[in-house]
């Protein structure tokens, strides 16, 4: 009798987990908005590396937050490089990768057509 109750309890728990996980809302992927056009943009390029080995870090996230509001995202390619065109303004650029300590840069982007180059060296947590 005890085994039957235990079995039914476990089965009910598993079933409720499956129902909850199947009906939860999917996580929307982060998609870059269209690149800004016109003359009032700055190109931010860079490379993200491991601080000890110097090896490139692919799939690191680059987040650009404007003081005035608004956020843009991109990620590094297989060689650790990224490039994104952004409107002029005061920004915080934060580079993150799972397992690494994030690194942030602050800048006022005020020269149309300029290119800002960043090298970020992230260290393992």
> Residue 124 is part of which domain span?
1-125
Q: How far apart are CA 103 and CA 123, in angstroms?
A: 9
Per-residue pLDDT tens for 109-124? 999 999 999 999 999 9
pLDDT band at 15 (very low <50, low <70, confident <90, very high): very low
Tally of CB atoms within 10 A around 51: 14
Using 50, 70 and 90 to split pLDDT, how confident is the model at 101? Answer: very high
Cα(102)–Cα(19) distance, integer angstroms: 36
Number of domains present in the structure of the chain: 1
Residue 16: which CATH number? 2.60.40.1120
Q: How far apart are CA 123 and CA 23, in angstroms?
A: 38
pLDDT tens per residue across span 45-87: 999 999 999 999 999 999 999 988 899 999 999 999 999 999 9
Dihedral of the CA atoms 102, 103, 108, 111 (nearest 10)?
A: -110
In sequence order, the β-bridge partners of residue 72 are 64
pTM of the model: 0.69
Predicted confidence (pLDDT) at residue 39 exceeds the cutoff of 80: no
Give me 95's structure tokens: 């580079």
């Amino acid at each position: 009798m005890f085994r039957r109750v235990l079995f039914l309890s476990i089965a009910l728990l598993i079933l409720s987990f499956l129902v909850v996980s199947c009906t939860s809302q999917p996580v929307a992927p982060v998609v870059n908005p269209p690149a800004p056009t016109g003359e009032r943009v700055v190109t931010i390029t860079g490379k993200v590396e491991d601080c000890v080995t110097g090896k490139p870090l692919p799939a690191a996230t680059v987040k650009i937050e404007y003081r005035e509001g608004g956020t843009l995202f991109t990620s590094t390619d297989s060689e650790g490089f990224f490039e994104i065109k952004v409107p002029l303004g005061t920004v915080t650029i934060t580079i993150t990768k799972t397992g690494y300590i994030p690194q942030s840069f602050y800048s006022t982007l005020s020269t149309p057509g300029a290119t800002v180059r960043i090298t970020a060296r992230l260290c393992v947590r």
